[in-house]
Structure 1
Amino acid sequence: MLHQLKSYRSLAREIVYKIFDMREGEGVRSLWMWLYIFCIISALMIVKPMVNALFLSEFGAERLPQAFILVAVMAAWVAVLYSNLLKTSNLHTLIIWTLYISMALFLLFWFLLTLNWMERWALYILYVAVAIFAVITSSQFWIMANVIFNAREAKRLFGFIGSGAIAGGIFGGYLTNFLAPIVGSQNLIFIFLFLLGACLFIINRLWKTSSEGEDRVQIRERNGFFKKLENPLNIILASRHLTLIAALIWISVLVGKLVEYQYSAIASEQIVDPDQLTAFFGFWLSNLSIATLLIQLFFTPRIVGMFGVGTSLFFLPAGILIGTFAIFVFPELWAAVLIKLFDGSLKNSLNKSGMELLALPIAADIRAQAKSFIDVFVDSFATGISGILLLLLTGVLNASTRYVSFLSLIFIGLWLYLITLSRKEYIRSFRLKIESHEQPAQPAIDLSNESILGGILKVLIDGEERQVLETLRMIRHLYDTRFLPGLYSLLHSSSVLVLLEVLKQLNSYTNKNFSNDVETLILHENLDVRTEALTYLAARTPNFSHDILPVYLEQTNYRIRSAALLYAARQSRDSGVASDIIKLKHHVQVELVNAQKTKDQQEVITMKRCCARAIGEAHLKELYPFLHYLLQDTEKQVVASAIIGSGLTREKEFGPALIQLLRDRELWSFSQTALASFGADIVDMLGSHLKNPYVDRQARHNIPKVLAGIELQYSVDTLLDNLDIEDRDIRNQIISALYQLRLRAPQLRYNDPVIIKLVFKEANEYFNTLALLYTQMKACDLTSPGADKRHLLYESREKLVKALEKRLDRKIERIFHLLGLRYPPSDIENAYAGIRSTDTELRANTIEFLDNLLDGDLKKVVIPLAETTVVEDVISKTLQRFGYNLTDEVESMKHLLESDDVTLKRHALSLIEHLEESRYLPLVAKALNDPNSEIHNKAQELIKKFGL
């Protein structure tokens, strides 16, 4: 029997968790929060109709504006007192004392009402007390909810928790409607006191339960994080986000009070008896609560999930707008009920959840104190303003109730505008919350500061190569003779990169001459250093090209001769003088002929390299056949220089040869740079080779990298046209190239439908891989590492699991690269870093940010995908939700061996080998037909091992 009860309990728990999307560790907290707000709102729904009825019966609706103003004045004082108490008391203690004081105060009111000692002025105090009680207790509840739940938990659970408030409204309202005529309005206070007593018990239980989450509740709250906060008004004004929240609450309360006035005025005109009026208010408050509950349970989660937090806030003002027109045209009781229906049902469901979620990007400590101030002071300030406006309109101008609608229309227009601003600010705040801690921009160098100058010189003289290069790049465009000692010292550096940068910078100091030191560098082993040294000397030697250069070109030392030849090529290109070009052609031809006769291999390589670059530098078209010839040289160094020379010509005739050289691992970086220098002229050729399956696979693999270096719309279009290539690795390179183009050239346009379609395709493959991983992880849990064969089996399975995990990582990276083509790359990069973070709070905030950034269709796929990287217990539910069957191991192996991933196939066959089960034999036999020789050979080996 006990076992059966446990089974029923487990089933009920599973159903509740499924309906309300709860996860492990959230159920108990959520239930206590639900009960707490249920009791608070039930108590409020008992005293509020009672007080409203007593007030309206005694004074009529014309005194409501004065009551609103009094609420504002008293609440301002309470807000200041409450903010100071927050700094000196923890939240738990403050809630307890709020409940005790409320119970004592309302017990006093009961005595006064029963003994008929209640003066007319005391009704104002009672009205104010109920208004402030409603604001403070509600605010305390939502502050506590924001402390206990993070952003993602809040978005899932606030709908369920908020339904407790609505259920309390239904219960309290109908109870008031039933009991008010029987026991009298004032005796309802005893039920109010009983419910507050229940709240005391619940709050203590809730705090004890929440203490198990020590990292969230105790650190934030019990250590008193409010104590360090400054004036709440300063906090609000310093934050655009908080200012907009305050403005939204102000405008919504103001419009709500105008609605309340119209509703109360019309109702009190037609219902005179106080007890009947109390019953009417209680009845309709309960009806509103039922409507609110239906909206909260069945519409709020879907609307917030589908449209986001910002858009969900438009529903309340839109509903009130409809009711406002109804009252203006038909100022009857049914119109008053209609506008109250829109106001009450949407305000306490969809709008309430939206407003609470709107505050989530703000830091918890700031949010807590600012929210208390906003809920108490701003709410009451809006109430006061509404009172003044109503007093002017109905008292001074003597306007009827229907003309209050004009006032409402003005403020509803402002309300809609503020929601638009808040929606943008909400996303911006989450963006700031998750963005990477980027390096600050390099500040301008203050050379008047001697310590800064001394630091630069110290790095130049004593620094390591990386530090020196960074400093040289930093001062590249700063002309200051005080850098010269450091630059001069670097002429003796062993680093080629440092020497090249120093020689270029020294060349700009035209009034200084370091020729004696630079001259030694024309014998340096590096051709570029020698050529740059010769360029420096030429700039400081009169008639260098006429007198000195010819001598260098005839030098017996090939190092000097090669540098002179490359310098001459650059000079002839810049000058365009025909005689210079003719002489250069002659020298290049002579050097190439002599290279065939020279026995010194190093001299042969150097002169061939020099000639290849000279042909390209000077665009010597008659010598292009030599360049084609050098592209086929047996020495890689020569081919690399020929590639550089070919790129300098920008002639398409070299395109096919350069594309084929992309297959060579040692040369592909040179080929990529050379091909990219062709620009738009080469894109067509690159596209046709990329699409052609008969072109070398490695060459095709590197073509997207070339296109990524050509920052043109044509490159983007070509890459997009080739996204249907079947080869997975090449397709991945295309996605990577598109993303690089997006980062470098954000002005380029991308075909959104193609990108979205590919995101769905990649997501589908991600979930398929996740299902396979899930199957292997479950099997891995059942396989413990033992001795001999068991150990080998465990090892094989572990390797397969790691391979699947790596594939998932690559998949999600590609999905985010694709999203970066549709949305701002900086947002997507920060989001990707966020979901990969080990910080739970940051990951939750990141998913919430994506939930608001992405469009509807993408959101439905990407958010569940992102959540599987964050919470392991949602993997199974997510796979089932999207219809991915959790297969057995045979089915899992079948999928692995049919995939296009050679690594996964290899690990799958290795696992089959150690499982030693004949049921896998058909899968192994099928693998014999695999086009990959490694997989084919392994399958053959296993067939023999199985004895076939």
Structure 2
Amino acid sequence: MLKKLFSINPGEGSPTLILFIHFFAYVAISVTGSAARDAYFLNMVDRKYLPLMYLAVAVVLTLVIAIYNRLSKNRDLTLIVTISSLVFALSLLAIQNHLEGWVIPFLYIWKDVIDAITIIQFWLLANEVFDPRQAKRLFGLLGAGGALAAIIVGSSIKQFVSIFGSENLLFITIGFLGIVILMANLIRPYRNVNKLQNQTRKKNEQKKSEKTFTPYLKSLAIIIGLAAITSRIVDYQFKIIAVAAFPLQDDLVNFFGQYYAVTGIATIVIQLFVTSKLLSRFGILVAILILPVFLMLGSFGFFITPILATVYISKFSDQVFKFTLHNSSIQLLWIPVKNTIKTRLKPIVEGSIRAGLEGLSGVLIFIAVTVFNIPIHYLSLSIVLIAIYWINKSFPLKKLYVDALQSAIEKRQLNFEELTLDIQDQTMVNTIETALNNADESQQIFALDIIKDIPLTPWKQSLNRLLDKGHVTVKKEILNISFNDDIIDDQRIINLIETDKELDIDAIAIAGKRGLNNAVTAINKHLEDPEIEKRIIAAAALNTIDPDSSNIAKKLLIDALQSTDEKLISVAINQLSFDNQILPDDTLIHYLNDSSFVIRNAALLVAETRRAPEFLPVIIHSLADSRSAIPARTALTAYNEQDVINILIQY
């Protein structure tokens, strides 16, 4: 029931659960670590140095990540996660036993280093496990695990503190680091290392001389930078007012825990029920504007009435909207940017530039409060001014976004591989709609290709129109990406099976995937079709819909496998990817060793789907034949890299 509710397909349950727990542990580390380090620093160090911590974090984080990237390059990620998490856990244990003096500022910085490295490692692991289509279905569920952690762990801090005291809170953080190590090792069998390495290598090979910021990228960088600056100012105000309201360390830790619990609830509600609907209905402009508007309102309220309740509004808005609507909008805004440019500039914009502005914000806050003695609530005026400028820059950014989308489609550069959630805004929908309605068949095919991994509902009407009037190539592509009955209804699939000689094979295959019992009568007629290939596909579909219903279908498939015609055998193999009764693994191994490269290549495609360890030796053996080398290499990318290496060593 849970698998159906969260769209988890067969074979995805275990890795999804492992990564769900992993992300839960990461957020728990962040929540407990943040609550502890903030309370310790605000109670044990002169608070005027808090802004300088922002600068220190930015500098140290930049250096540490650069060193980490160099040390971890070309090394097993599970091993790297294990070693780094052990280092983090042991360092926190040492800090826990020496909570005084310089250790407190060090903890403040070190905690952000732990967060940054741990989240980078998590997403690298997740991207090795799931392909882009799976990611769009499942990453939202993983994100919900993080919000759930904030709720459960945040609300539990008070009970822990009342029993053990706030000075022992880091032990919880250490415990969750242990869970991270465990999950990183449990996920190992599900990792597809070669896929990620091949993608990275391909990106590196594609690097060209595109180094300049376009007006669009400049506007995007400004929005990201403004969000970073306001976030630091609000964070400073919130923490200073919080420690004034809760001078006792235990009370302050409890307050921070409750804050993370409340924001966790809000985050999960907005991410699951608001973000996609708001973007689809009102577009990206409204989504971009929500964060600066709420920051402006909260900051103006704090300027008028400088109390915890008003600054809480600003901090709540920053925490909740930044990690939901704002981040989703930023993902969309990166979509039209060419991959080679994005690969080079995204780390600069979201890494170096943002970190630099956060550090600069800390210095300016320190000067304003310490040197010029500006009251803390006066800093809200700067947020109001920044928010106004932010809002003003958002309107031209929307126009540039539309232009960039249209240009990307015309140049065939638009892709959704890095979009980790099922989100579209109205501008994107309209732009792709225009491409689908274009008279140019190649434009239609490209538009279909770029939307194949995202929900197709916004283009349902156009897809059905093209299925009526489009070129047969376009129709086949629509059926290929629309096996879900939400787009092309079941009755239409049955009608195509019965009446359309050009699309009946494709429709039969879809009926099999959907398990359409109502299509059995129509498919049965094709068991006597003059074309043997069509008979085999029909037999495979019937066998999928009801394995016990048709002995004729089974006999057709078995006869095809036992024939001497390599084309018939390869067609039958391709149709039996998930049928271990008619095509058991030992029989598949026989075909993997076949002298015919046509049969061998068909078997390699099935081996890639099944991923059985016993296939590895024969897949590797196929590399020796140039006619099978490419499908063999592709099949190997579905396996764990270390398993492949272990077999290769034996050759």
Q: Which residue of 2 aligns with 1:819?
A: 437
Structure 1 pair 139–876 and aligned structure 2 pair: CA distance change class (3 A): closer
- How does 1:64-83 map onto structure 2 within 5 Å? 64-83=50-69
Corresponding position of 1:680: none
Q: Distance in 2 between matches of 1:225 and 1:415?
A: 36
CA 1:836 to 1:297, structure 2 compared with 1: closer, same or farther past 3 Å? closer
Any residues of structure 2 matched to 1:531-570 within 5 Å, and which?
Answer: none
Shift of 1:101: 2.7
Contact kept? 1:244, 1:418, Cα under 8 Å: yes
SS in 1 for 2:28: helix
Residue number among 366, 370, 387 corresponding to 1:391 in the alignment: 366
Contact 1:43 1:192 survives alignment (8 Å): yes
Aligned mate of 1:315, from 290, 303, 313 = 290
Q: Is the 8 A contact 2:55 2:362 kept in 1?
A: yes
Distance 1:270 1:816, change over 3 A: closer
Letter in 2 for 1:318: V
Q: 1:311 to 1:144 in 2, by over 3 A?
A: farther
Q: Is 1:339 matched up with 2:334?
A: no
Task: Kindly provide the amino acid, as one letter, of the partner of residue 196 in structure 2.
Answer: V
With normalisation by structure 2, the TM-score equals 0.63
Residue 285 (str. 1) matches residue 256 (str. 2): no
Task: Determine if the alignment matches structure 1 residue 250 to structure 2 residue 225.
Answer: yes
More contact order relative to length (CA 8 Å, sep ≥ 6) = 2
The whole-number CA distance in structure 2 between the counterparts of 1:879 and 1:248 is 36
Indicate which of 179, 185, 199 corresponds to 1:220: 199
For residues 889-938 of structure 1, the C-alpha deviation after alignment (integer angstroms, 9 at most, x for no partner) is 7xx599979xxxxxxxxxxxxx99x979xxxxxxxxxxxxxxxxxxxxxx
Q: Is the 8 A contact 1:235 1:370 kept in 2?
A: no
Point out the structure with max Rg over C-alpha.
Answer: 1
| Percent of aligned pairs sharing the same letter | 23
Instruction: Verify the 8 A CA contact 1:868 1:875 in the aligned structure 2.
Output: no
Q: Distance in 2 between matches of 1:277 and 1:868?
A: 62
Contact 1:327/1:336 (<8 A) preserved: yes
Q: Distance in 1 between matches of 2:123 and 2:298?
A: 29
Match of 1:12 in 2: 2
Decide whether the 8 Å contact of 1:75 with 1:377 is kept in 2. Answer: no
Flag the 1:177–1:154 CA change in 2: closer, same or farther, 3 A.
Answer: same
Give the Cα separation in 2 of the matches to 1:251 and 1:41: 25
Number of the residue aligned with 2:491 = 886
Contact 1:151 1:360 survives alignment (8 Å): no
- Shift of residue 877, structure 1, vs aligned partner: 2.9
Q: Distance in 2 between matches of 1:371 and 1:85?
A: 22
Question: 2:301 corresponds to which residue?
Answer: 326
Candidates 854, 867, 875, aligned match of 2:483 = 875
Q: What CA distance in whole angstroms lies between the structure 1 residues aligned with 2:332 and 2:339? A: 12
- Distance in 2 separating the partners of 1:58 and 1:142: 35
Deviation sequence 1:604-663 (CA, Å, 0-9, x none) = xxxxxxxxxxxxxxxxxxxxxxxxxxxxxxxxxxxxxxxxxxxxxxxxxxxxxxxxxxxx
Match of 1:877, SS state, is: coil
Matched residue, 1:165: 146
Q: 2:165 corresponds to which letter in structure 1?
A: G
Query: 1 CA distance for matches of 2:42 and 2:109?
Result: 14
Deviations 1:494-524 (Å, cap 9, x if unpaired)? Answer: xxxxxxxxxxxxxxxxxxxxxxxxxxxxxxx
Using the TM superposition, give the Cα deviation of residue 281 of structure 1 relative to its aligned residue in structure 2, in angstroms: 0.8
| Paired letter, 2:159 | F
**Distance in 2, Cα, partners of 1:87 & 1:112:** 33
Letter in 2 for 1:42: A
Measure the CA separation in 2 of the matches of 1:200 and 1:368: 29
2:110 alignment partner AA: A
Distance 2:340 2:121 in 1: 14
Quote the Cα distance in structure 2 between the aligned partners of 1:335 and 1:415: 21
Aligned-pair distance for 1:819?
3.3
Whether the 8 Å contact between 2:237 and 2:376 is mirrored in structure 1 is yes
Q: Give the 3-state SS of the residue equivalent to 1:398 in structure 2.
A: coil
Assess, with a 3 A threshold, how the Cα gap between structure 1 residues 32 and 303 changes in structure 2: closer, same or farther.
Answer: farther
The one-letter amino acid of 2:5's match is I
| In structure 2, distance between residues paired with 1:894 and 1:380 | 58
Q: Bigger shift: 405-414 or 273-282?
A: 405-414
1:338/1:397 CA distance change after superposition, 3 Å: same
Residue in structure 2 matched with residue 205 of structure 1 by the alignment = 186
**Structure 1 residue 303, shift from structure 2 partner:** 2.3
- The yes-or-no answer on 1:52 pairing with 2:38 is yes
Instruction: State the distance in 2 between where 1:351 and 1:257 align.
Output: 16
How far is 1:179 from its partner? 0.8
Match of 2:84 among 98, 112, 115: 98
Say how many residue pairs are matched. Answer: 481
Q: TM-score, normalised by structure 1?
A: 0.45
Instruction: Tell me if the contact between 1:300 and 1:350 (Cα under 8 Å) persists in the aligned partners.
Output: yes
Shift of the alpha carbon at 1:73? 2.5
Written as runs of structure 1 = structure 2, the 5 A alignment for 1:682-701 is none
1:511-569 residue CA offsets vs partner (Å, 9 max, x unmatched): xxxxxxxxxxxxxxxxxxxxxxxxxxxxxxxxxxxxxxxxxxxxxxxxxxxxxxxxxxx
SS at match of 1:325: helix
Q: Deviations over 1:310-333 (max 9, x none)?
A: 642332222212211221222112
Change (3 A) 1:263 1:95: same
How big is the shift at 1:159? Answer: 2.8
Unaligned 5+ segments in structure 2 are: 414-428, 467-474, 501-520, 527-651
Alpha-carbon deviation of 1:241?
6.3
Distance 1:274 1:417, change over 3 A: same
Equivalent residue for 1:192, pick from 173, 177, 190? 173
Shift of 1:185: 2.2
Superposed displacement of residue 63, structure 1? 2.4
Which residue type is aligned with residue 833 of structure 1? I
- Please, which runs of 5 or more residues in structure 1 have no aligned partner? 1-10, 439-758, 761-812, 852-856, 898-910, 917-948
Post-superposition Cα deviations, 1:59-78, rounded to whole Å, max 9, x if no partner, equal: 35432112212222322322
- Cα distance between partner residues in 2 of 1:279 and 1:172: 11
Give the deviation of 1:354 after TM superposition. Answer: 3.2
2:28 is aligned to 42
Match of 2:281 in 1: 306
1:410-449 pair list within 5 angstroms: 410-420=385-395, 423=398, 434-435=409-410
2:19 alignment counterpart:
33
Q: 1:339 to 1:819 in 2, by over 3 A?
A: same
Q: 1:337 to 1:133 in 2, by over 3 A?
A: same
Following superposition, the deviation at residue 84 of structure 1 comes to 3.5
